[in-house]
Structure 1
Amino acid sequence: MTIATRYAEFAAREARGVSPLYERLSSAVSGDDTLLALLGTLPPAKRQPNLLFGVVRLLGGPVDEPDAFHDFTIGNWPAIEAEIRDRATQTNEAGRCAVLLPVLAALPQPLALLEVGASAGLCLYPDRYAYRYGDHLVGSGEPVLECALTGVAPPSGPPEVVWRAGLDLNPLDVTDPADVGWLDALIWPEHTHRRARLRAAAAVAAAEPPLLVRGDLVDDLPALAARAPAGATLVVFHTSVLYQVPEPRRNAFVELVRDLPGHWIANEDPAVLRYDGLPEPPGSALYNVLALDGGPLAWTRGHGQAMAWFG
C-alpha cells in the first residue's frame, strides 16, 4: 500500500463520520506530493496518520485547515520528524473497556489483568469505570463509557480485579503532565468527550498506579505473567496494538500467548490478526475483531463506541 493510499483509506474508513477535520486533513495529505515525499523518508511504521497528526498537535500546529497544516509541517519538519521517530501512537482509550467488559465479566473471577501495549495502563481498570449500553447502566463512578451493543445482553456487573499489570516498550506515567499531554494530543480534535474521559480515567489510575513494565511482548511477557497471583484467572489482553509489530514478531507472540495459563483476549484489525469465516462487518467503517483464546466473538469500533456480537 502506498503512503497516499494509506492516508486516503484513513480518511474514508477511520475518520469519516468520526472526525470531519481528520477526514479532510488525511484526504488532503493523500494528494500532497511534498508531504508524501517527507513521509517517505520515515520508516514504514512511522508514516501513519495518527502519529503525524498527533505530533503536529503536540507541537502546537494547526490541524483544522489543510493549507495551514501543510505550511506548518513543511516549516517545522526537522522538529516534527524528530518527535515522530521518538514516539509511537499510544492511544490509551479507556472507552475500549466497554467492548472488553462482556468477555471479562463472563470469565472465572477474580481476574489478574495483563495488558500488552498498555501505554499508561488506563484499560487496566475495567472494574472502576461505569458503562452505558443503551438504557442499561453497569457499575458506578467516572468516567461513564458508552457503547452501542448488539447481539448480546450487557453484563450484569463489572469484573473483580485483584491484580493489574502492563507491558509496553515505552510505558507512560499518568502522574507526568508531559505523558498525559501526549495522550491528549493523540485524541482527535473534535472529541472533547474523549478528553474529559482521559482526565477522569487518568485520575482513577493515578490514585492506584498499575504495575507497568518496560519490555517486549515476546521476550518479557512470560516473566510478567508469572507474577500474577495464584487463585486469580490470568487474562492477557491487547487492543489495536499488533499493527505496530512486524509480522514475524506478531506470529511469535501469538504462539507464546496461546500457551500461557488463563485466557487471551485480542481486539485487533482483522487484516492484522486474521480469522477464517468471519461474517460481514456491520458497515464500511474500520472494525476490529474481538476474540477470546483465538475464537472471534464480535466486531468492535476503535474507540469502544460500538460492538456487534456474532460469537
Structure 2
Amino acid sequence: MDTRTRYAAFAERIASVSPSYAAWARSVDDALVGLLDEVPETKRQPELVFAVARRLGADPSDPGSLRVLGREARPTFVAALASATVQANDPRRLGPVVPLFAALAARVDRPLGLVDAGAAAGLCSIPDRVTLDHRVLGAPLLDARADRAVVRPSPSGAPGRDVRQEAQTMTVRVHTAVAEPSVHLTVDVSGAVPAPTSTPISIGARVALDPNPIDIAEPGAFDRLVEAVPPEATDRTALMREAARATLAAPPVRLRGTLPGDLDRALDALPDGVEPVVLTTGTLVYVPGADRQRFVDRVRDRGVHWIALERTGILSGVAATLPADVDPADPDAFATASLDGVAMAVSDPFGVRVRWLRH
C-alpha cells in the first residue's frame, strides 16, 4: 500500500472518531508524500506522524497545519520521525487478549511471567487488572468445555433464560480484575465466543520492553503518552488515565530495547517459577518484515507462549490460520488476536468489536 492510499484509508477509518485526524490524513499532498518517503516505512504510520507533528507544534484543529509543518520545518520533521517511537498504548487493545490470557492461566499451574514487547508506558501490561464484559450480539453463548448454553440473567433482572432457545443480546462478565485500581472494558462479540472463566489471571512478573520506555510516574509522562490520541477522543484519554493508575499499582520492570534483538534479554529478566508469555499489541507493524519473522522464529525457538493483537495479514503464519471468509480489508477484521501463532479472533482497529473464530 503506497503512502497516499494508506492515509486515505486511515481517513475513512478514523472519520467517525476524529474529524480532525481525518482532515489531516486527507491533507497529505505530493510534498508530504515526498517527505514521508524519506523516512523508513515503519515510521510512516499516521498515528506516529500525527503525534510527532503535534509535538512539533502543529494544531490538529487546523487542517492545513500538517502541510505547513512539512513545508516550513521539513528537516526537523524528517529527523523527528526517523527517531520517533511514539505509541498510543491504547488499553482497549486488552479487550481481545484478556480471554487468551485467561485461557492460558487456566491451563498452566504457575503464575504468568509477562514480557510486553513494545510496551511504551505499560498500559497493556495489566491484563489481570481488567474487568471484561462481553456484549454478546444476537447469538447464544456456549460453554466450549461442556457444549452447553450459559444461562445468565437478562439486563432487566428477569430470571435467566435458556439461550439455546432464544438468541438475544446480553452482557456477560468474562473476567474480573484481581485487584484495584483496575480498568473496565466492554467488548461487542460474536462467533465462537469464549465462556466466562472463574480462573483469575495471575501474573508473577512483568517486563516492559520498548525502544524508549515511558515511566508513567515521571512528571509529564502521561501528556507525552496521549500525543498520539486524537483530540476528540476524551473518553479514550480517560480510560488511559484509569490504566495508568492500575499500571502504577503493578509497575513492570522497564527495559530499553528493540525486537527481535532484545527479546532474549527481556525473557531472561523474568524470575524462575513463572510461565513466560510474550505480548505484542500493535507493535510488529513498526518492526521491518525480515526482523518481524526473526521475532516469530525466536519466540518459537525459546518455547514460550505468545499472545498478539496485530494488523491482519502482517504475520504470514498467523494469517495462514484464518478462515477463508476473513477479509483483511474489512474494518472489523483490521486486527487479528492470536495465541501461540494461531488466529483466535479478528477485531476492529480499537479492539471493541471482536469476532471469535475458534474456542
Cα deviation 1:5-41 (Å, max 9, x = unaligned): 22112223x3244333322321231xx2232232233
Q: 1:290 — aligned with what? A: 337
Q: 1:266 — aligned with what? A: 308
Residues 4/309 of structure 1: CA separation in 2 closer, same or farther (3 Å cut):
same
Greater CA drift, 274-283 or 245-254: 274-283
Percent identity (aligned): 35
Give runs of aligned pairs for residues 37-186 of structure 1, distance below 5 A. 37-107=34-104, 108=108, 109-134=110-135, 135-137=171-173, 138-140=175-177, 141-151=181-191, 152-156=193-197, 158-186=200-228
TM (normalized to structure 2)?
A: 0.78
Q: 2:11 — aligned with what? A: 11
Q: 2:299 — aligned with what? A: 257
**Partner SS for 1:177:** coil
Residues 191/261 of structure 1: CA separation in 2 closer, same or farther (3 Å cut):
same
Residues 208/293 of structure 1: CA separation in 2 closer, same or farther (3 Å cut):
closer
Cα deviation 1:205-263 (Å, max 9, x = unaligned): 22332111112323322233133333322111211111111122111111110122341
Residues 155/49 of structure 1: CA separation in 2 closer, same or farther (3 Å cut):
same
1:229 is the counterpart of 2:271? yes
Pairwise CA distance, 1:181: 2.0
Pairwise CA distance, 1:133: 2.0
Pairwise CA distance, 1:104: 0.5
**Partner SS for 1:252:** helix
Unpaired segments ≥5 residues, structure 1? none
Unpaired segments ≥5 residues, structure 2? 136-170
Residues 220/11 of structure 1: CA separation in 2 closer, same or farther (3 Å cut):
same
Output the amino acid matched with 1:133.
Answer: H
Cα deviation 1:179-223 (Å, max 9, x = unaligned): 322211111222111101111211222233211111232332223
Output the amino acid matched with 1:33.
Answer: D
Equivalent residues, number? 308
Pairwise CA distance, 1:123: 1.0
TM (normalized to structure 1)?
A: 0.89
**Partner SS for 1:113:** strand
For 2:219 and 2:77, locate their aligned partners in 1 and report how far apart those are by CA, in whole Å: 20
Output the amino acid matched with 2:241.
Answer: R
For 2:338 and 2:21, locate their aligned partners in 1 and report how far apart those are by CA, in whole Å: 29
Candidates 236, 260, 271, aligned match of 1:194: 236
For 2:65 and 2:278, locate their aligned partners in 1 and report how far apart those are by CA, in whole Å: 43
For 1:220 and 1:277, locate their aligned partners in 2 and report how far apart those are by CA, in whole Å: 28
For 1:216 and 1:168, locate their aligned partners in 2 and report how far apart those are by CA, in whole Å: 6
Cα deviation 1:101-144 (Å, max 9, x = unaligned): 11100112521111111111111111123223222334254432
Output the amino acid matched with 2:2.
Answer: T
Output the amino acid matched with 1:110.
Answer: P
